[in-house]
Amino acid sequence: MGPKRQEGTDTGEIVTARRLAVGYKDKMVWHDANFGIERGEFVAVIGPNGAGKTTLFRMLLGLQKPSGGDLTVFGSKPSRGDSRIGYVPQRHAIDNETNIECVELVHLAYGGGRWGFNLSTRREKDAAMSALKAVGAEDLAHKSLASLSGGELQRVFLAEALVSNPEMLLLDEPLSNLDIRRAIELVEVIGDVVKERKVTAFLVAHDINPLMRYIDKVMYMANGKVATGTPEEVLTSKNLSALYGARVEVLRDSRGHIIIHSRYGGEEVHEEAYHVI
């Protein structure tokens, strides 16, 4: 594995939230969130189910308006269809049962939905191959999606999101169906993309441990609140106790993995990663 990425020189805040709140008619998801994310930062988004992780992505994509406060992306309010954002959803519309070549899928994203690889320009073909190469998947170019493993499929979906050279990546639980080795490999690929292309990446995960060597910031959502900062700032017993409103201990096991231990909601919990119920 490569080292944690180094800070680039091309910085600047591209996502800014001030007293941001989000919710639905009968439920406030979280409120009073303040954070700034700079260009080229790799951000882990973690928290229990229903804490608002995917809702954050919907706001960044301009699909949902905040309930209060201010959110700016690239200096203005989020808007739908922003080509500067590449998005890999949790459930992809095209899955590994689809019998098309990987390069055709990636090319389709570049061409705005036009089928027919043979009719594409040389520029489009080169862009598709370049995106596959960026994620270490050029050898998969002419394989069908149906033949791929879960880790290979996620690399192709990442290439699909990269093909238009976005400035921001939103990755919704890309590690959820991977074993630990494949998860670490994919995180390393994403970390390399962030470093080399100075892309800002948000990755929703259920286990922060595979991400720790590569991320710059953590957004931890729980109990209607959002804590944002470096892993060292956020993942402490004091900060998580304040976030949950209950005593939380942040521990490390013999492997160096983070374990969060708490008695929350009357039930003792002892789990790796973040998940306190």
- Average confidence score pLDDT of the chain: 85
Q: Indicate the residue among 139, 161, 183 that finishes a domain.
A: 161
pLDDT of residue 146: 87
pLDDT, tens digit, 9 for 90 and up, residues 199-250:
999 999 988 999 999 999 999 999 999 999 999 999 999 999 999 888 888 9
The whole model's pTM is what? Answer: 0.86
Domain holding 111, by residue range, is 94-161
Q: Are residues 55 and 14 located together in one domain of the fold? A: yes
Nearest CA among 109, 156, 112, 107 for reference residue 134: 156
Pairing assessment for the beta strands 200-204 and 168-172 based on DSSP bridges: parallel
pLDDT of residue 233: 94
- Residue 168 pLDDT class (50, 70, 90 cuts): very high
Token code pair at residue 262: 């708490």
pLDDT of residue 123: 83
Q: Are residues 180 and 154 located together in one domain of the fold? A: no
Burial classification of residue 198, based on how many CB atoms lie within 10 Å of its CB (0-12 exposed, 13-18 middle, 19 or more buried): middle
Q: Say whether pLDDT at 5 is over 60.
A: no
Query: Based on the structure, what is the number of domains in the chain?
Result: 2
CA–CA distance, 160 with 128 (Å, rounded to integer): 8
* CA R_g for the chain: 19
pLDDT, tens digit, 9 for 90 and up, residues 21-69:
999 888 899 999 999 999 999 999 998 888 999 999 999 999 999 999 9
Q: The sheet that has 68-73: what strands, in order across it? A: 27-38, 13-24, 68-73
CA–CA distance, 211 with 96 (Å, rounded to integer): 25
Q: Is residue 40 part of a domain?
A: yes
Q: Is residue 248 part of a domain?
A: no
Tell me the average pLDDT across 5-22.
Answer: 74
Q: With beta carbons less than 8 A apart as the criterion, state whether 162 and 134 touch.
A: yes
Q: Are residues 155 and 124 located together in one domain of the fold? A: yes
Token code pair at residue 263: 């008695």
Q: Are residues 22 and 142 located together in one domain of the fold? A: no
Q: How far is CA 159 from CA 154, 190, 198, in A?
A: 9, 10, 16
Q: Are residues 32 and 136 located together in one domain of the fold? A: no
Alpha helices, DSSP H only, in 91-229?
102-110, 122-134, 150-162, 180-197
Q: Are residues 119 and 55 located together in one domain of the fold? A: no
Q: With beta carbons less than 8 A apart as the criterion, state whether 132 and 160 touch.
A: no
HEC-encoded secondary structure of 91-128: CCCCCCCCCCEHHHHHHHHHCCCCCCHHHCCHHHHHHH
